[in-house]
Amino acid sequence: MNPKWFFSAFAALVLLGIPFLVSGHGYPLGSIAVRHPWAAPTQTTTGSGYLGLKNRGARDDKLVSASTAIAAKAELYTLTKTDAGLKIEPVDAIAIPAGEEIRLKPGGPYIQFSDLKQPLAEGDRFPVLLKFQNAGEIIVEMFVQKNEKSSIY
């Protein structure tokens, strides 16, 4: 192979690869992009799941439910700051306005898993079914890791 060509191809791969590595694994579903689903390791049978939801479309959408075989329940929660402190409560849906990206993250909205069959261990992966009001549904793989940045996958 021509070394010059090889170098160019390598450089192109590196350039293409960087945004992918930074944003983690992702799944397109119509106008919704699901980015880097992950969950924190747990000591108990209650866990939290996080992910990014980007709405590239012209109409608003909503995440309406999540479910997984590894937990009896998966519920959507929001966490809001009030004068009285942090308010954590279950919600029917998490809105994803047109053109915006919503991040489920520590300190923000999240998916709460209750009655996990076993605690989540770092390195585990498990499937989660996400349902959206407009975009439909998709199964994503949630990676168990210490924090959002501790994996490039």
The single residue listed with the structure tokens 């919600």 is 91
Show the binding pattern over residues 8-27: x = contacts Cu ion (CB under 5 A), - = does not. Answer: ----------------xx--
Whole-angstrom distance, CA of residue 81 vs CA of residue 87: 6
Q: Does 54 bind Cu ion (CB under 5 A)?
A: no
Least distance CB 69 / Cu ion (angstroms): 20
Candidate list 31, 32, 34, 36; residue touching Cu ion; CB under 5 A = 36
List all residues 6 or more positions away from 143 whose beta carbon is below 8 Å from its beta carbon. Answer: 25, 36, 37, 38, 39, 124, 125, 151, 153
Least distance CB 143 / Cu ion (angstroms): 6
Least distance CB 63 / Cu ion (angstroms): 18
Whole-angstrom distance, CA of residue 42 vs CA of residue 39: 9
Q: Does 105 bind Cu ion (CB under 5 A)?
A: no
